[in-house]
């Protein structure tokens, strides 16, 4: 982890910035399709609460590689501050997972600017913690067993459903599954839109999640784990990677986390004791490198 280096002094209308960049990956252990322990790297993911003139305005989820620039960009895109010279300082403190943004003369009409929010189709949706996390701690998800052979059968069935992704390459797909049956498959420009659509279906049709598997083409971030846990689904499956906080929340909430799942390959980041390894693939000629998988994209 990188150190918080001394900040830069303001000059020529530029704010004072801390230098609090962190390592963007962390090493974790998982179990592969051969039931072998592996060490791999996952993307870091950390909450960063933004305080604008001592007022809490949003919590952003970030890898932490350029937190000061992230906050400056968010403030500009939200049109909270018009001119860069109006910002005196941006100071990130990872001990409190917070960033203090101070302006030279306050933000005119801040209440009105914060009153209307639009949730984008991307990864960060702002404030998901606080009371929500307290409620999630009361959840008790079931602990089903799942056979490796059924994972392979489900992955094979899912290959026929990524039609828009194969054609356009700019969407994410999510599916609600039961054993090897795909009950609902939704594609959208953001995986969070797709998962919310499936949650709406489950709510409307009174579908219980206890015996279901949730599949996504996107990364397993903290928000994805939270949403699936809220839906009462105990198994989360992805063809993409895992973030650090997604893994930590899965461990906390009891969600089985299976990622990098394509063909006969997968990595179980949490809940390997609930996998019955009944279809081990043929052993490769040489073991794969210990750090062959890195989660740099979705």
The pLDDT, as a whole number, for residue 13 is 76
139-276 has CATH 3.40.140.10 classification: yes
5-135 has CATH 3.10.20.10 classification: yes
The pLDDT, as a whole number, for residue 11 is 58
DSSP secondary structure of 111-143? HHHHHS----SSS--S---THHHHHHTT-----
264-284 pLDDT tens trace: 999 999 999 999 999 999 887
The pLDDT, as a whole number, for residue 264 is 93
**Residue 87 near residue 77 (C-beta atoms within 8 A):** no
The pLDDT, as a whole number, for residue 164 is 47
Place of tokens 């019955």: 276
- Per-domain residue ranges of the chain: 5-135, 139-276
Segments in the chain below pLDDT 50:
1-7, 118-130, 164, 168, 295, 297-298
Q: Is the pTM of this model over 0.95?
A: no
Instruction: Give the angle 208-213-217 at the CA atoms, nearest 5°.
Output: 130
The pLDDT, as a whole number, for residue 121 is 35
Place of tokens 């962190």: 22
Are the folds of 5-135 and 139-276 the same?
Answer: no
């Amino acid at each position: 982890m990188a150190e918080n280096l001394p900040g830069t002094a303001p000059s020529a209308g530029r704010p004072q910035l801390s230098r609090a960049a962190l390592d963007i990956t962390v090493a974790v252990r998982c179990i592969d399709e051969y039931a072998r322990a592996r060490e791999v790297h996952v993307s870091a993911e950390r909450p960063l609460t933004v305080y604008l003139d001592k007022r809490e305005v949003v919590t952003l989820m970030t890898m932490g590689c350029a937190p000061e620039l992230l906050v400056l960009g968010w403030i500009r895109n939200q049109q909270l501050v018009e001119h860069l010279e109006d910002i005196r300082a941006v100071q990130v403190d990872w001990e409190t997972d917070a960033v203090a943004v101070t302006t030279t003369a306050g933000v005119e009409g801040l209440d009105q600017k914060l009153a209307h929010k639009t949730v984008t189709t991307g990864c960060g949706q702002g404030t998901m913690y606080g009371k929500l996390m307290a409620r999630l701690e009361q959840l008790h998800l079931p602990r089903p067993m799942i056979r490796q052979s059924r994972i392979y059968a489900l992955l094979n069935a899912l290959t026929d459903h990524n039609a828009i992704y194969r054609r356009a390459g700019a969407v994410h797909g999510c599916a609600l599954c039961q054993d090897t049956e795909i009950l609902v498959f939704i594609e959208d420009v953001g995986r969070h839109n797709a998962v919310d659509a499936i949650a709406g279906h489950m709510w409307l049709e009174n579908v219980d999640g206890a015996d279901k598997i949730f599949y996504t083409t996107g990364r397993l971030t903290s928000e994805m784990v939270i949403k699936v846990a809220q839906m009462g689904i105990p198994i989360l499956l992805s063809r993409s990677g895992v973030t650090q906080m997604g893994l930590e929340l899965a461990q906390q909430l009891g969600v089985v986390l299976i990622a990098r799942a394509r063909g006969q390959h997968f990595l179980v980041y949490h809940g390997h004791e609930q996998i019955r390894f009944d279809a081990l693939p043929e052993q490769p000629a040489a073991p794969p490198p210990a750090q062959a998988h890195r989660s740099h994209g979705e």
